[in-house]
A = this chain, B = another copy of it.
């Protein structure tokens, strides 16, 4: 893997994903309420960044579109920083065409319908404001839709706090993606911000429960599965 990473950085990549173009999304999105407030999702970006690094180590040409995180940029990966879900979709579209897209970002389902240009002030009468939300674009479903730029392999993530596998099965069908990596983000699982992750990979061929693994190991295992499925560019 080290030799492959060096080869990649020298522009002479080989490895099982040599010549393959990959898009990975990572981190949360931040949806502005006003200039000082925003809605965010809990996501450290650890898992998405590790996947980008693991795919690059197998020789792929990786673009990582990431929301605001404190993770360092993975070596040998093109990093595109974004804030909101709409920014993220624009950056993903700009990265097409790709052979594989792994959507690991925790994209906000909703943004504030009309964010304020100036800081909201407390009303003298003490009335609290109500935030009307509007649905964000669905990046996984958009990229998974049939069309000339549809990646050969679309991989989504399902972070759930209950009925994890049932929700993930439903999500795979609904979004039109090929694989779903399902993980339990309930407080008991300790996934958020932690280093470990317990996932189930749902493919068209079945469901693989993986043992509890470090997020780096989850990334490497997923990258190997992608390489087995796709192979190097023809």
Residues in chain A within 8 A of chain B (CB atoms): 30, 33, 35-42, 70, 106, 108-110, 113, 118-120, 122, 126, 128-135, 159-162, 185-187, 192
The answer to whether A131 touches B128 (Cβ under 8 A) is: no
- Enumerate chain B residues within 8 angstroms of A70, measured Cβ to Cβ: 70
Contact B33 A38 (CB under 8 A): no
How far apart sit A132 and B131, CA to CA, in the bound complex (Å)? 7
List the 10 shortest-distance A-B pairs measured between CB atoms, nearest first: A131-B131, A128-B133, A119-B161, A35-B161, A70-B70, A118-B161, A36-B42, A128-B135, A40-B40, A118-B162
Give chain B residues whose Cβ lies under 8 Å from the Cβ of A128: 110, 113, 132-135
Pair B36/A106 contact, Cβ less than 8 Å: yes
Q: Which residues of B contact A113 (CB under 8 A)?
A: 128
A135 to B119, CA, bound (A): 16
Contact yes or no, A36 B185, CB < 8 A: yes
Contacts of A134 in B (CB 8 A): 128
CA distance A30 to B118 in the complex (A): 20
List residues of chain B with CB within 8 A of the CB of A185: 35-36
